[in-house]
Amino acid sequence: ATPISITTAAGRGAQSGVLIKDAEALERMAGVDTLIVDKTGTLTMGKPKLTEVVALGDITETELLSLAAALERGSEHPLAEAIVEGAETRGAARQEATDFEAVTGKGVQGRVGARAVALGNAAMMQEMGLNTAQAEANADTLRTEGKTAMFVALDGALVGIVAVADPIKDSTAQAIRELHTQGLRVIMATGDNERTAQAVAGKLGIDEVRAGILPEAKKELIDQLRREGHKIAMAGDGVNDAPALAAADVGIAMGTGADVAMESAGITLLGGDLMGIVRARKLARASLRNIK
């Protein structure tokens, strides 16, 4: 390809929905050897849908869903939306929660009437002193299908599982293949469970998975790889991803995600299409040849 100027590269990028903040972001993109991607909202659509409700105790599926949705009305997490919407679609009674509290990267808790309700991952249940062992087989079946399984606790007892599925974006598989062709190593970093993460990564040929990590750990992973001499691009969409985007050599935000993610990023993909990373990389290389 013929060398192009940085201005031309930025212009061509913008035409195809790849917004490049400055010359530095473009130059750095040319030297990147590793891409770290968030799962939810970056590889996947970020619009999870409720797929299963499993009652484990002395409770109906509808009551379980009603309690879960009461809590999730207080949360802005994409998982919360899926549960609230699923509860409405399935006709679960609307109840109000009090004493709502979100536990970052783990789940939500509060009260519904006189009852204490919690909804979240295994780490959250373990923190409450609950043993998830008898429910793990159920949860693992769902995770192996790439779904996110969340446990529901009622008055200190595990009473159910709700699962959601978030479809992979149409263009993700092709983007990962082309990024590999460009010589990049692709690592998924997600707060989601290991099995769920592996199921999604396996379908996409992702090289490495770091699952079950809190948002700060995404930043720490980047810091560590940079210390080892790697040049890192990080793609993410969430409020939680902002520190990691800022820590990377190049932060890449989904235009479909949180504003703070875009503010922390050197490159924004307007439609959230990962093929934009492939294009950004090609433009970066072409403009680099012009500088040299």
Encode burial over 157-187: b for 16+ CB neighbours within 10 A, e otherwise: ebbbbbbbbbeebebbeebbebbeeeebbbb
Binders of ligand ADP in range 214-253 (CB under 6 A):
238, 240
Size of the site for ligand ADP (CB under 6 A): 22
The 10 Å Cβ neighbour count of residue 194 is 13
Using the rule CB under 6 A, is 39 a contact of ligand ADP? yes
- Rg (the chain; Cα; Å): 21
Q: Please name the residues in contact with 26: beta carbons below 8 A apart, sequence gap of 6 or more.
A: 6, 9, 10, 20, 280, 283, 284, 287
Nearer to Mg ion, 238 or 243 (CB): 238
Using the rule CB under 5 A, is 243 a contact of Mg ion? no
Which of these ranges, 24-32, 35-43, 208-216, 272-280, lies near Mg ion under the rule CB under 5 A?
A: 35-43
Q: Which of 38, 81, 166, 178 binds Mg ion (CB under 5 A)?
A: 38
How far apart are CB 201 and ligand ADP at their closest, in Å? 13
Nearer to Mg ion, 86 or 236 (CB): 236
Binders of Mg ion in range 107-166 (CB under 5 A):
none
- Rounded Cα–Cα distance for residues 24 and 266 (Å): 8
How far apart are CB 208 and ligand ADP at their closest, in Å? 15
Q: Catalytic: 140?
A: no
- Among 22, 33, 38, 237, the active-site one is 38
Using the rule CB under 6 A, is 52 a contact of ligand ADP? no
Using the rule CB under 6 A, is 77 a contact of ligand ADP? yes
Q: In the chain, where do the E strands start and end?
A: 18-20, 34-38, 49-55, 98-103, 107-112, 115-120, 148-154, 157-165, 185-189, 208-210, 232-236, 250-254, 267-269
Nearer to ligand ADP, 127 or 263 (CB): 127
Using the rule CB under 5 A, is 105 a contact of Mg ion? no
Active site residues: 38
